[in-house]
Amino acid sequence: MKKILTIFIAILLFIPMVSGQEEESSDKKERAKSDSVKTGWTFVPIPSTSYNRDIGFQYGAIVNFYNFGDGSRYPLYDHSLYFEYSRTTKGSGIAQFQYDSDRLIRGIRTALELNYLTEQGLDFYGFNGYQSLYNHAFENDKDASYISRMFFRQERKMIRIRTDFSGNIIEKKLKWFGGIEFYNNKIDTVNIDKLNKGKSEEEKLPYVKGGLYGLYANDWNLLPPDEINGGNHTLLKAGVIYDTRDNEPNPMRGIWTEAIFVIAPSFLSNRDLSYGKLVLTHRQYFTIIPRSLNFAYRLSYQGKIFGDMPSYMLPFVFNSPPNKTRDGLGGKNTTRGVLRNRVVGEGYFYGNLELRWKFTDTRLLNQNFYIALSVFLDGGMVTQQYEVNTANVPGTILLNNKTYSNSDFFSNEDEKPHFGTGSGLHFAVNENFIVALDFSFAFDPDKDGGWAPYIGLDFLF
């Protein structure tokens, strides 16, 4: 809640943005006189602050630069440059740059993304959805079954570099797509010593064999030895996109459908094995009340079509530009209300339904500004399981002088959809820069997590 209030206040404080005007011909200047059209360069700064008693105090900033050119294509921009930098006092952080333009190379849309992400407590709940059990009591230090607040966590340091290109096959409708992504993943158990530094004895985290990930990797031998600490992979992508949307940030009508092949050849990784994935995603948008109320839905299947996928590459959701590659199913980017990375397997299906209402659309401090309210239903499930041999898992497990059974961690239950629902507020400046505040909860809080607030940028899809 502290983070939500901070972002909300920041929006109000930083609405006055800096805008520059390019030199224009007389006819273009006439068009630029329209109050609703932006031209030249504009940027939006947003501070990023939050606090978590284990991860520490977060500090940083987000800045997005847009160049609208002569304004003739507004709200479509010529160039977008996005910068994000944040750190926490315990070592987690985001250093990110994104560039998007269809004017850098004539006739081709270019998207570039550079990331260095360090996470001291990345979610890890096992594999195959409901076949791996989640028990909130294990991370609740007020409960008798408490193990550790970091029990369902792992450490990850990741470098990701992505370059994507797309161009027209049929003007403004059918497009080709190609790209390349590089991943350097370093995986480990949570550094409890680092997180405990400066804590009182009552607040310190207990040492529990590296949490659930440590049990999977070291005690139960559920992961291949060459996967335990991560690895390097380069992914090659190719596909087609059918796009008839009338507006990219928040379409009122149209379709976006894509089919993408993702190939990870062994000669571009540190492993001898290759794998391939198929990504099929369909988005559609309907106008209910012109300019103010619309309905949107998204359906996506992503699954392995050949080869051997390492466990640390399972929790990624692939999209064509300008959408980003996301962490796995669950959380603010895929199935809100469900825990991040709760639904992890070699293949999965997910969907989203969302109703969006712009109840304020005005000019404020010489900027175009609207606020939208949304209600949504999200769901997803594993469709292809990651093979986990639990033969080495003992029948009884001793942790923190407490005894647990095998059935506390694994289930023979069939996988089924994980659902979350909720509502959100979206603050949009000049149509493109959108801050989203979503409030959601899972249908099954005992197995998928409880009430969850999210802060992010843009509509979900």
For position 201, what pLDDT does the model report?
86
Residue type, 250: N
Class of domain 2-457: mainly beta
**pTM of the full structure:** 0.87
Taking the domains of the chain in order of start, what are their residue ranges? 2-457
Give the Å distances, CA to CA, from 430 to 289, 373, 425. 21, 17, 16
For position 36, what pLDDT does the model report?
73
* DSSP tag of 128: S
* DSSP tag of 295: E
Structure tokens at 117: 């992400």
Specify whether the backbone of 447 is left (phi greater than 0), alpha (psi in -120 to 50) or beta.
alpha
For position 27, what pLDDT does the model report?
43
Q: How far is the C-alpha of 460 from the C-alpha of 458, rounded, in Å? A: 6
Residue type, 427: F
Q: Is 402 helix (H, G, I), strand (E, B) or coil?
A: strand
DSSP labels, 1-32: -HHHHHHHHHHHHH-S-EE------HHHHHHH
For position 26, what pLDDT does the model report?
41
Q: How far is the C-alpha of 207 from the C-alpha of 345, rounded, in Å? A: 28
For position 52, what pLDDT does the model report?
62
pLDDT tens series, the chain, 461 aa:
444 444 433 433 443 333 333 333 444 444 444 557 888 998 888 887 766 656 767 789 999 999 999 999 888 899 999 999 999 887 789 999 999 999 999 889 999 999 999 999 999 999 999 999 999 999 998 998 999 999 999 999 999 999 999 999 998 899 999 999 999 999 999 999 999 988 888 889 998 889 999 999 999 999 999 999 999 999 999 999 999 999 889 999 999 999 999 999 999 998 888 999 999 999 999 999 999 999 999 999 999 999 999 999 999 999 887 777 778 899 888 999 999 999 999 999 999 999 999 999 888 777 889 999 999 999 999 999 999 999 889 999 999 888 999 999 999 889 999 999 999 999 998 888 898 999 999 999 999 998 888 888 889 99
Residue type, 353: L
Q: How far is the C-alpha of 220 from the C-alpha of 216, rounded, in Å? A: 5
C-alpha angle 278/297/96, rounded to 5°?
65
Residue 74, Cβ density class (10 Å: 0-12 exposed, 13-18 middle, ≥19 buried): buried
Q: With contact defined as beta carbons under 8 Å apart, do 119 and 92 qualify?
A: yes
Name the residue among 268, 451, 262, 265 with its Cα closest to residue 346: 262
